[in-house]
Chain A
């Protein structure tokens, strides 16, 4: 009982604290030690910009000769520890100052005390696999933190991270935007009943009609109205988040596998609820095929097909959107690769116009892709749902 009340209180405190602290105080600068000698590899810079993060990194201010100040909104850490309830920390720094937790590679871990360990065996293991940061010697787990030091990991604690990261913050923003835009559109239909549409309503009416007549109706026919709310939500969420992601500083929402997997999962669940007898018959006992082929070939292929469809949906959206962001970042980074980080200014100045033109070109392409991917995701969802509820009319012809 004690635990339950503590948990409830923690949630409320966490939420209030997050609300209070978010805008006025969270925007502060922190110092970084990026010197002139140790350059971050370009691949790491691109990965950092595309990946989800617990800091909303806005820009850097050059500071003297040997470093920069990072201006970033530090998003709070919020995680559940079994037996102890919810834990809340205002920023990554706050977690680093705590006694029990440590952050490595954008994940939170519980450690047994904050004492630093140095051992030759650990150094040897780390040298053998540079990408690893968790090591195990004699059933004791160690974790490497920034600066190349080690701590003993508390492997018992299975922390569940519920933090609001950059991407989830931006998803909330998109949801709010969709809510306000489409309540305004809906209000327009109530006020202008029988009259011509006006304002924002007339902007969205063709798009909504396009989704209805070109995406949903050809496949779902009479069931169109039942699936329209889902399809419109899907289309506009993906479209808005793609456009939003093209604005600098913003997270590429659909370039995150978790987001696209969640969207594909929704389509998968809807497909499963729409299934009928014929769908399952075609999967488990394909009609009109010799029995041996039915069991050996059709059954495994069709069963796999249930899962590859949503999987392909998720991967397609993810790869298209993150691919565009990789292209833009790679073209911008080309200036710094050519200029060898300020050592060769001529080459940097020479490549900059080319890099700029190509980036603009990719940006226009990405505007196109933002629409096409929203269209394709909604279209394929409609196709998969309609396949699941097709009647037995194929056998007759």
Chain B
């Protein structure tokens, strides 16, 4: 029974981590696209920084996902 609840917890945790990463990267991409539209000449710089920041946001979410994976395995 304990194991079953652990699996449910891991599933919910993985979903929450995905929601967090989705919100973060979504806001990031929205602002980046807006700034690229306003200043197309700076698009290259913005894109580079966007990927860098997206990687940082994603990194935190992946910590959560890895912990959920460890609970299940």
Contact = CB atoms under 8 A, between A and B. Distances in A.
B62 A316 contact: yes
A380 B65 contact: no
Query: Is chain B's binding surface mostly helix, strand, loop or mixed?
Result: helix
Consensus secondary structure, chain A interface: helix
Interface in A341-397: 372, 375-376, 379-380, 383
Contacts, number: 36
Nearest to A316: B59
- 8 smallest CB-CB distances across A and B, nearest first, come from A319-B62, A376-B55, A316-B59, A312-B59, A319-B66, A316-B62, A319-B65, A315-B62
Interface residues of A, number: 17
A315 B63 contact: yes
B66 A315 contact: yes
Given A315-B66, A323-B65, A379 B52 contact: yes
A375 B51 CA distance: 9
Contacts of B52: 376, 379-380, 383
A316 B73 CA distance: 19
Contacts of A214: 48
B72 interface: yes
Interface of A: 43, 47, 214, 218, 312, 315-316, 318-320, 323, 372, 375-376, 379-380, 383
A380 B73 CA distance: 30
Nearest to A215: B48
Interface in B42-60: 48, 51-52, 55-56, 58-59
Given A43-B73, A214-B48, A218-B48, A380 B55 contact: yes
Nearest to B66: A319
A376 B57 CA distance: 12
Given A214-B48, A318-B66, A319-B62, A43 B72 contact: yes
A383 B51 CA distance: 13
Nearest to A379: B52
Contact of B59 (A47, A218, A315): A315
Contacts of B48: 214, 218, 379
Contact of B51 (A47, A319, A376): A376
Contacts of A316: 55, 58-59, 62
